[in-house]
Amino acid sequence: MIPIITAENLVRHYQMGDVTVKALRGVDFFINKGEMVAILGPSGSGKSTLMHLIGCLDTPTDGNLKIDGEDVSSFNEKKLAGIRNRKIGFIFQQFNLLPRLNVLENVMTPLMYARIPVKDRKVRAEEAIERVGLSDRITHRPYELSGGQKQRVAIARALVTEPTLILADEPTGSLDSETGHSILTLFKELHDEGNTIIMVTHDPEIGSMCRRKIHLFDGRIVAA
């Protein structure tokens, strides 16, 4: 097994004036290629904080984090941006589509940052959109889509760069249970196709779907 993520003693503190908020108090784990992992835990336990670190949106206060063999804990903003672009596909609870762009343009954006020629961008974006079943909405703007459709666009956008790692922070948190279920089915399919997926959730359904679960409590892993 090849570990895609190796975390050693990951610490993330937030300094709020005189108070230090200890969001992560030292977590160790590794995640292998092709795994589908659920991160569970009560509100405020540090799930999102951990996802931001894994997603290279944030850097740890202490500890080591290796992603796909690269030690990212000491990377600068520019290098982190490169890792995010090439290796990570992020999916958020709030979809986070770019409101002024249509579906195709949204999905093409990460490819633009990867400096892929416009022609190829379009082809690849269309493929990704087809994969999530939204080919008939390609010129629609985000406000013209339902929540479930928006999340599918976000998934297409995460997939389009063929990332090493797909991260989803409560991807069904803003959806009704039926729509949420169909999104989860999509994730399951993506996992079956060989993608490595890490998902934060409160949803027991997701929990039961993932073979591996990491339980966080107060910034520490209590069960893995």
Partner 1 sequence: MILENIRLALKDFTRNKLRTGLSMLGIIIGVASVITITSLGSSATGSITAEITQAGADTITVFLTKGDTSTARYFTPELAAEMEEAIPGINQAIPLQQGSFLLKYGREELEGVTVFGVEEAFSEIFHSTLAQGVFLTERDNQGKKAVIVLGSEVAETLFPGGNAAGKYVRVFRRQAKSFKVIGVLEEQSDTMGMSFNTSAYIPYKTYISRLQRSDTVGRYAIGAKADADVLAVSEDIETYLTGLVGTSDAFRVISPSTIAEMAEGITSILNLLLGGVAAISLIVGGIGIMNIMLVSVVERTKEIGIRKALGASPNVIRSQFLVEAVSLTFSGGALGVITGLLLSYLGTSLLSWVFLPNITAVFIALVFSSFVGIFFGLYPAIKASKLDPVVALTFE
| Binding partner at 45 among ligand ATP, Mg ion, partner 1, none, C-beta below 5 to 8 Å by kind | ligand ATP
Backbone angles phi, psi at 149, to 5 degrees: -65, -40
- Identify residues 39-78 at the interface with Mg ion (CB under 5 A): 48
Nearer to ligand ATP, 49 or 73 (CB): 49
* Segment 2 to 61, residues that bind ligand ATP, using CB under 6 A: 14, 16, 21, 23, 41, 43-49
* Site pattern 54..93 for partner 1 (x: CB under 8 A): -x-xx------------------xx--xx-xxx---x-x-
The residues in 130-189 that bind partner 1, with binding defined as CB under 8 A, are 157, 161
Partner whose binding site includes residue 138, from partner 1, Mg ion, ligand ATP, none (CB under 5 to 8 Å by kind): none
**Which residue in 100, 119, 143, 178 binds partner 1 (CB under 8 A)?**
100
Q: What is the DSSP string of the chain?
A: --EEEEEEEEEEEEEETTEEEEEEEEEEEEEETT-EEEEE--TTSSHHHHHHHHTTSS--SEEEEEETTEEGGG--HHHHHHHHHHHEEEE-TT----TTS-HHHHHHHHHHHTT--HHHHHHHHHHHHHHTT-GGGTT--GGGS-HHHHHHHHHHHHHTT--SEEEEESTTTTS-HHHHHHHHHHHHHHHHTT--EEEE-S-HHHHHH-SEEEEEETTEEEE-
Residue 119 binding target from ligand ATP, partner 1, Mg ion, none, CB below 5 to 8 Å by type: none
The interface mask with partner 1, positions 105-134, x = CB under 8 A, is: ----xx-xxxx-------------------
CA-nearest of 11, 8, 4 to 166 is: 4
Neighbours of 96 (CB within 10 A): 14
Among 47, 52, 137, 152, binds partner 1 (CB under 8 A): 52
Instruction: Choose the contact partner of 43 out of partner 1, Mg ion, ligand ATP, none; CB within 5 to 8 A by kind.
Output: ligand ATP
Q: Which is nearer to ligand ATP, 122 or 220 (CB)?
A: 220
Q: Which residues in this chain contact ligand ATP in the complex, by CB under 6 A? A: 14, 16, 21, 23, 41, 43-49
Q: Which residues in this chain contact Mg ion in the complex, by CB under 5 A? A: 48
